[in-house]
Amino acid sequence: MPMRPARCYTHFTSPPYTRKEYIPGVPQPKIVKFEMGNRDVEADYLVQLIVTEAGQIRHNALEAARVIVHKTLSSSIGENNYFFRVKVYPHHVLRENKMMAFAGADRLQDGMRQAFGKPIGTAARVFPGHVILEVYVKKEHLQRAKEALRIGGSKLPLPTRVIYKPLKNGRAAS
């Protein structure tokens, strides 16, 4: 797995840190809505955004992808012509051992001694083939849905791919 520069929290080596009852001060995830659009749409296709590498997706990246996909779909095909769902939840708590970077800071901090860190956010851990976002659409809106998910994938720190599957008998999204 090639490492990309300037990505602090994308790749992981340790077990997930998820027990929020033991962690004081975990910030709430920025993403609040996981389902948007018309739940009862008679969809012909399921369009999905999947990741091709293992990694972590921070909650603010998920929210950015959700916002741009929802905005693109609602403005191009209308709110009643699709059902959009975010499939992952940011459970893993990210920690940071803040270091002071000014003159005389060496007398105030402990360096790497007891460097457990304070919670700074949450992330979703994903593996190759995991579905991140999915959209149920009618046949005439398939290309717009694929384009919206491609744009949403550019907001995520991992490489993604858009796939689509035909649904039998135009099933409802639920």
Mean pLDDT of all residues in 24-46: 89
pTM of the model: 0.82
In a domain, 19, yes or no: no
Q: Which residues of 45-68 are buried (b: 16+ CB within 10 A; e: fewer)?
A: bbbbbbbebbbbbbbbbbbbbbeb
Count structural domains, the chain: 1
Q: What is the pLDDT of residues 56-92, one digit of tens each?
A: 999 999 999 999 999 999 999 988 999 999 999 998 8
Mean pLDDT of all residues in 47-52: 96
The answer to whether the beta carbons of residues 94 and 58 sit under 8 Å apart is yes
**In CATH, what number is assigned to the domain containing residue 42?**
3.90.1170.10
| Average pLDDT value over all residues in the chain | 85
Instruction: Find the range with the poorest average confidence among 70-74, 116-120, 122-126.
Output: 116-120
Domain containing residue 45: 33-96+116-169
For residue 95, give the nearest of 17, 3, 174, 2 by alpha carbon: 17
| Range from 12-16, 91-95, 156-160 that averages highest in pLDDT | 156-160
